[in-house]
Amino acid sequence: MNRRRFKRWNFLLVPIFIVAFLFVLFMGADQLCVNDAGRRLPIYPGAQKIDETHNGIRARGIGSTRMTFESADSQETIEAWYQELQIELLKTRRQLGINNLTILYAPGKEGKGTTIYYLSQCVL
């Protein structure tokens, strides 16, 4: 009797396995995108999140992400911080990754501080 019951549900095992495998593969790729963005373009220390929009499961994962932050620091200070980071990545030969990352700056509200825009696109 147990063999008949097992044979009855046997046809579901392969599709369930395929779906589970694809899910694990997708989540692994998504985590690779998040890690890559965090390594190559981390959020500026002390910046406050203003807005976040993404079309994937999570920010900076597979898909497109736009995040807006504000910092009390000047644009020159922020650019110098990112320049040091990029030099360090070049020295360790870790500047390449799977994400298309962009950072843009604008003067903060009322001319104080800086607004930072992070754009991330990860498509595998």
Q: What is the pLDDT of residues 9-19, one digit of tens each?
A: 677 888 889 99
- For residues 56 and 82, what is the distance between their CA atoms, to the nearest angstrom? 26
User: Would you call 36 helix, strand, or coil by DSSP?
Assistant: helix
Domains: count for the chain: 1
* Overall average pLDDT of the 28-46 stretch: 91
Q: What's the N-to-C CA distance of the chain in angstroms?
A: 47
Share of the chain above pLDDT 90, in %: 56
* Per-residue pLDDT at 76: 92
Summarize the confidence of residues 56-67 as an average pLDDT.
92
Phi, psi at 47, each rounded to 5°: -75, 145
Q: Specify the higher pLDDT residue, 52 or 91.
A: 52
Give the mean pLDDT of 51-56. 93
Higher pLDDT residue, 17 or 1?
Answer: 17
pLDDT at res. 12: 80
Q: What is the pLDDT of residue 5?
A: 62
Q: What is the pLDDT of residues 79-124, one digit of tens each?
A: 999 999 989 888 888 777 788 889 999 988 877 899 999 999 998 6
**Domain region containing 46:** 2-122
pTM (two decimals):
0.79
